[in-house]
C-alpha cells in the first residue's frame, strides 16, 4: 500500500471522501478553499486510480503537529489504510524533528487503537484553537483530544 503526498489534482476527490464522513458526523467537513490552502499537509492512498484514504499532518509548533482529516472510504476500511496513513504522518513528523502529535476527533477509539492516548483539550496550546472559531460546532465542541509520542 503506497501512501503518497497529495497534489492539487487530488483536492476534489479528497473533499468528496471527507464529505462522506462529515455527513455521518464522524469528522468535520473541509471546504475546497481550505483543502487547496493546506494541500501540502495531505497524504493519500490510491487503489485503481481512485483515492481511498487521506490524512493531513499540520505543523503547529516546533514540538507539536496535528493529525487532521483522516478518512478512509467505507468500502476500504479495516484493511490497514488508516494505519498506513497514520504511520506516514508519524514518519514525516519524525523527519521534521517533531516529537508529539495530537488530534481532535469524533472517532477516538481508532486513534487509541494506534497508540494515541486521551488528554484534556485544555492541555493543548492556545495556538491550536484559532481554527475553531470558524467551526460550526464552536463553542460546543464534542471532539476528543488525543496525543501520540513520535518514536
Domains of the chain in start order, with CATH, are: 3-149 (3.40.630.30)
Q: What percent of the chain has pLDDT over 90?
A: 81
Q: Residue 38's pLDDT band (boundaries 50, 70, 90)?
A: very high
Place of cell 509548533: 61
Q: Which of 40, 81, 36 is nearest to 57 (CA)?
A: 40
Residue 147 parent element (H or E): strand 144-149
Dihedral of the alpha carbons of 36, 108, 122, 84, in degrees to the nearest 10: -50
Question: By the 8 A CB rule, do 67 and 102 touch?
Answer: yes
Between CA 117 and CA 114 the distance in angstroms is 9
Report pLDDT for 101. Answer: 98
Model pTM score: 0.93
Dihedral class, residue 118 (left if φ above 0, else alpha if ψ from -120 to 50, else beta): beta
Per-residue pLDDT reduced to its tens digit, 114-133 = 999 999 988 888 767 777 76
Place of cell 477509539: 109
The residues pairing with 15 across neighbouring beta strands, listed in sequence order, are: none
Per-residue pLDDT reduced to its tens digit, 66-120 = 999 999 999 999 999 999 999 999 999 999 999 999 999 999 999 999 999 999 9
Mean pLDDT of all residues belonging to the chain: 93
Q: What percent of the chain has pLDDT over 70?
A: 96
Residue 83 parent element (H or E): helix 81-96
Amino acid at each position: 500500500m503506497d501512501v503518497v503526498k497529495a497534489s492539487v489534482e487530488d483536492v476534489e476527490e479528497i473533499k468528496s471522501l471527507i464529505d462522506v464522513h462529515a455527513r455521518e458526523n464522524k469528522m468535520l467537513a473541509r471546504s475546497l478553499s481550505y483543502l487547496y490552502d493546506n494541500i501540502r499537509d495531505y497524504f493519500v492512498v490510491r487503489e485503481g486510480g481512485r483515492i481511498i484514504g487521506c490524512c493531513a499532518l499540520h505543523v503547529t509548533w516546533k514540538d507539536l503537529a496535528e493529525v487532521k482529516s483522516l478518512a478512509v472510504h467505507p468500502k476500504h476500511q479495516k484493511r490497514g489504510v488508516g494505519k498506513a496513513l497514520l504511520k506516514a504522518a508519524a514518519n514525516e513528523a519524525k523527519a521534521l524533528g517533531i516529537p508529539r502529535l495530537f488530534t481532535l476527533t469524533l472517532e477516538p477509539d481508532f486513534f487509541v487503537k494506534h497508540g494515541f492516548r486521551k488528554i484534556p483539550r485544555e492541555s493543548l496550546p492556545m495556538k491550536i484553537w484559532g481554527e475553531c472559531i470558524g467551526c460550526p460546532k464552536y463553542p460546543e465542541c464534542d471532539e476528543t483530544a488525543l496525543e501520540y509520542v513520535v518514536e
